Amino acid sequence: MNLYIGNLSYNVKESDLRHVMEEYGTVASVKVITDRETRRSKGFAFIEMPDDAEANNAIKQLNGAEYVGRSMVVKEALPKNLY
Calculate mean pLDDT across residues 64-71: 96
Identify which has the larger pLDDT, 5 or 81.
5
* Nearest of 16, 19, 21 to residue 4 by alpha carbon: 21
* Distance (Å) of CA 60 to CA 23, 37, 41, 82: 13, 35, 25, 23
Whether 74 has a pLDDT exceeding 90, the answer reads yes
- The per-residue b/e assignment along 24-61, b for 16 or more CB within 10 angstroms, e otherwise, is bbebeebebeeeeeeeebebbbebbbeeeebbbebbee
Chain centre to alpha carbon of residue 46: 5
Percent of the chain with pLDDT over 90: 93
According to CATH, the superfamily of the domain at 2-68 is: RRM (RNA recognition motif) domain (3.30.70.330)
Where are the domains positioned within the chain? 2-68
Whether 83 has a pLDDT exceeding 70, the answer reads no
57-9-30 Cα angle (round to 5) = 50
What are the tens digits of pLDDT across the range 16-55? 999 999 999 999 999 999 999 999 999 999 999 999 999 9
